[in-house]
Amino acid sequence: MLRHEDDSDYAVTFPDLPGCVAVGPNAEEALRLAEEALTFHLEGLAEEGIAAPMPRALGELLNGDASRPDNAVLLLLTGRPPKAPAVRVNITLDKNLLAEIDEAAAEAGTTRSGFLAEAARRLMNR
């Protein structure tokens, strides 16, 4: 939820993550900081072995959340999960495609694994 009082900064709170808050002098900065706060909060939960709560349905937050102030706007933000250790996998690819991947990885100055990971992130918009 993004809120702003006339005489204060903008604040972003997360209804499903009590204690996760970001504050900024304008809406843009508050939202940027909110993404960082969300990621940091989720990393902290993971480090402590606590599962992140399932987010409530947007409809529930829009229609049934009595704790939402009238001056609050609901937003959807993406938190980045903590980086996990690398895992070796065995995949099958067309030989010609693999040669193209290796060539593109060399041109990009990275490894085959790094290239494939970056391609996957871009395809998934991360």
pLDDT tens across 58-107, in order?
777 777 655 656 667 877 776 666 667 788 999 999 999 999 999 999 99
pLDDT at 81: 65
pLDDT at 61: 75
Q: Which two tokens stand for residue 36?
A: 């960082």
Return the half-sphere exposure (C-beta side, CA atoms, 13 A cut-off) of residue 114: 9
Calpha distance 20→10 (Å, rounded): 14
